[in-house]
Amino acid sequence: MENNNHPQEQGFALIEMIVALVIMAIVGLMAWRGMDAMIRGRETIDRRANLDASYFQLVNQFERDCQESLRRDEIAPLFSAGNASAISSLAAGAKNIWWVRRYRADNQDAWMIVGYGMAPAGLQRLTSRPLLRRSDAGTLWASISRDPDLISTELLVSVEVPMIVRQAFQVQTSVISGAGGNGISASGTGAGIGIGIGIASPTAGNTPISNVYPDPQGVTMQWWIKDQALPISRSCLMGGAL
């Protein structure tokens, strides 16, 4: 029987197979790169969504804290007559701003101390536990008022936003027909400069800043996101102005 498989035909078949394998490899590589791009795109979208959710949570929490804040005349009775005049319903340092707010815990009225400040990890919202006894609130508030930049071990971080690298605020008071203000700008490194009426620039790490204000009427907060030129800005009427 005659064999029709010539060497040149066998060589041509081998070339066809190699070309087919190369084409399949190229198609597989393109498919893999396309899948990788889809996965990376999905991760970017999810990461952005999580960041936006953290900013939304921060803004909502700030507005709630501000609206539930206490007036100075509600806090002053906790202190002696000699110290009451030096107690404010708001305390501010080079890095942190604090106030006392109403809080509902287990169907009981309580107070809670809340603060917003810069740390190496970014912006943090710190809170005390719900304070059912006013005397406990007075003790902790007196300590925070003396040095707003000294973080008590009794305070917990409830919100942390690492992408925020700087914070600034302005407190509106009733000095002149509800006008007036004080400002602080703080960075993620904890270094800040006090500006405005009634604020002194710190010369040392934990130097207290004067924080005896008339009842605050409102607060404007600004938070700068890393690599973004414009800040997140929110203004709120405080509880004493409602």
Average pLDDT over residues 105-112: 85
Residue 80's domain comprises 51-241
Q: Is 35 helix (H, G, I), strand (E, B) or coil?
A: helix
**Res. 197: pLDDT tops 50:** no
| Res 126: pLDDT | 94
- Flag whether 6 is in a domain: no
Chain segment 4-20, per-residue pLDDT in tens: 556 666 656 777 778 77
Q: Are 97 and 149 in contact (CB under 8 A)?
A: no
State mean pLDDT over 154-181.
76
Instruction: Answer whether residue 29 is part of any domain.
Output: no
Higher pLDDT, 199 or 184: 184
> Which of 89-98, 102-111, 122-131, 188-197 shows the highest mean pLDDT?
122-131
Please classify residue 45 by burial: count the beta carbons closer than 10 Å to its beta carbon, then call 0-12 exposed, 13-18 middle and 19+ buried: exposed
pLDDT at 83 over 60: no
Sequence-distant (6+) residues with CB within 8 A of 23 are: none
pLDDT at 151: 83
Least confident of 24-38, 41-55, 130-144, 185-199: 185-199
pLDDT exceeds cutoff 80 at 183: no
Better pLDDT: 193 or 81? 81
pLDDT class of 135 with cuts at 50, 70, 90? confident
Whether residue 67 lies inside any domain: the answer is: yes
pLDDT at residue 123 in the model: 94
Number of structural domains found in the chain? 1
Q: Residue 118's closest CA among 94, 147, 137?
A: 94
pLDDT in tens, 216-234: 678 889 999 998 899 999 9
The answer to whether residue 39 sits within a structural domain is no
Half-sphere exposure of 187 (CA within 13 A, CB side): 5
Write down the pLDDT at residue 180.
38
CA distance 172 to 124: 22
Q: What secondary structure letter does DSSP report for 176? A: B
pLDDT number for residue 179: 37
What pLDDT does residue 185 have? 52
Q: Is residue 63 part of a domain?
A: yes
Distance of alpha carbon 96 from alpha carbon 168, whole angstroms: 10
> Hey, what's the torsion of the CAs at 47, 51, 53, 59, to 10 degrees?
180
Rounded CA separation 214/203 (Å): 25
Is the pTM for the entire model greater than 0.85?
A: no
Report which of 163, 168, 184 is spatially closest to residue 227, judged by C-alpha positions.
Answer: 163
User: Would you state the structure tokens that stand for residue 239, as one six-digit string?
Assistant: 């509880």
Phi, then psi, of 163 in degrees rounded to 5: -75, -10
Residue 225 lies in a domain: yes
Asked whether residue 187 is assigned to any structural domain, the reply reads yes
Q: What is the mean pLDDT of residues 175-187?
A: 45
